[in-house]
Amino acid sequence: MDILSNSTIPYAGGLILLWWLYRLVKDRRSNPNRLPLPPGPKGYPIIGSLFDFPTYKPWLVYDKWFKTYGDMFYFEVLGQPFLVLGSVERTYDLFEKRSSNYSDRVRMPMLIEMMRWEYNMAFLPYGNWWRRHRRLFHDHFHPNIVDKYKDVQIDTARAFLRRLLKTPDDFMHHVRHAFGSSIVKVAYGITIEEENDPFVINGEIALGGLAEAGNPGTFLVDYFPIMKHIPDWFPGAGWKKKAAWWRHINGVVANRPWNQLKDQVKAGTAEPCIATTLIGQLPDEDAPNFPEEDLLSRDTCAVAFVGGADTTVSTVQSFFMAMCLYPEVQKKAKAELDNVLRGRLPEFNDRPNLPYINAMIKESMRWQLVLPLAVAHMCTNGDEYNGYYIPKGTIVIGNGWTILHDPEVFDDPLTYNPDRYLKDGKIDPTVRDPNVAFFGFGRRICPGRYFSENSLFTYVTHLLAVYDIRPGLDKDGKEVEIKPEMTNGLLSYPEPFSCRITPRSKEAEDLINNSSLMG
């Protein structure tokens, strides 16, 4: 919880006591029926479960707590209530059936007010401003329009194959570059540089900050917003320097490409893209509503970039790891591809004929989640549910990791096994789809999910059509053991690992080299 770097906690004792007393009085008034709180760790007076609050891979800790308290548990930390949900039934009941009361976001001073992530609608409070962001984004990424981006996705996938051929050891970087390339082209019409592109670099820094600060309570200022006003020179205020650096990067990510496109539009040199469409729809610059509409359009492009350039990156990187660990899965996928493609590279219209590949995409999403806890929701008003009282302002978390690793639903859930989704050679609709948790919940589900799934199909098929993926070798020529470990944080990525990526044949290498000439 960044307690060490927030060493001002001794000075906040009186504030904590007053806050606790305030919460105690308020909760008693708002729960007139004296319903019990949901089960969970009781903690201590005032501080609650502060010492039990998990900050390292909390989804795994919560998964263990479900075994003690059931599929829903409650706890408090410094007066802030938390409710964690561990089943599809619970997330559906609250995030879907009661979405009007469970679609808000908790105030996150570190992430929003200090790091300035307010351009990302995923963190905006539930209300009209969020709805306008969501509606505008949906206009450009709904399922009936994402097909227009397929040519860009194919082109960047094939460029990805060529980069892998030159420097296969840099595959982790190439994955990030490929996704950054496609979404920057779609959103801004810009072709990024082959090496050290500022869009990719700044996006990676910004998302690294999001991964660190995105889970509520990671920084003490989330509990005590008044700490924002602590001077930078104050002992223990090193976290403010972090915030300032990330705030600068977020300003660059949100503003630089948007301003660049506006200049290109004025000069008549801009390529058609989402940004040019939005700029063309803006009112005159002297119109009273211009600043608001300009900000809304800028945010739409910026959130497309940070979402499209990153969330699916983790899944594809995990896919490389799975191929190293499960060669029999790779063999099955290649056999299916070879039967359908017959010596050519894949296209989107091949998808209906590739059931095993579609099962792999589902399993890649399920196996290692990029957002194991999604983004936390907040209870807008006190609620009664299943005989329990849920206080107003409760942070409500859906543990997607638990939902997609439930051993009663998925046999041997830690194993990567696409066959679990198949029956009689077709996708089995009775098996739990990872979409129930992978992209979030309720009204706050990721609106870019259709673009993301298309990207996954493109990269999985192109990789397996032409490359063999195996574990790396140590100095003695033996395959290095790979452990499927993921990083901590709101966004989770595979821990670094090595693998060998080599063309399947001379014919495959020719396909890679000639891919830039294909339609």
Is 438 within a domain? yes
The pLDDT of residue 397 is 97
On whether residue 97 sits in a domain, the answer given is yes
In a domain? residue 1: no
Classify residue 3: in a domain, yes or no: no
According to the model, what pLDDT value does residue 24 have? 59
Residue 458 lies in a domain: yes
Q: Which domain holds residue 458?
A: 9-517
DSSP alpha helix (H) spans, 271-407 = 274-280, 290-308, 311-325, 327-341, 355-367, 400-403
H or E stretch at 468: strand 467-471
CATH of the domain at 420: 1.10.630.10
Instruction: Please report the pLDDT score of residue 438 as a whole number.
Output: 95
Residues 6+ apart with CB under 8 A from 515: 158, 159, 161, 162, 345
Confidence (pLDDT) at 257: 94
pLDDT at 309 (0 to 100): 65
Indicate the residue type of 363. Answer: E
Contact 141, 451 (CB under 8 A): yes
Residue 230: CB partners within 8 Å, gap ≥ 6?
A: 8, 237, 240
What is the reported pLDDT for 5? 42
Q: Please give the average pLDDT of every successive group of 10 residues along the chain, which has 519 residues.
A: 46 59 61 90 91 93 97 94 98 98 93 92 94 96 96 96 96 92 94 85 89 80 86 84 93 94 94 96 95 96 84 91 98 98 96 98 96 95 96 96 97 98 96 96 95 96 98 94 93 94 96 78
Residue 47 within a domain: yes
In the chain, the number of structural domains is: 1
The reply to whether 273 sits in an annotated binding site is no
Residue 4 lies inside a defined structural domain of this protein: no
Tokens of 218: 């990671």
> What separation, in Å, do the N-terminal and C-terminal C-alpha atoms of the chain show?
51
pLDDT of residue 17: 62
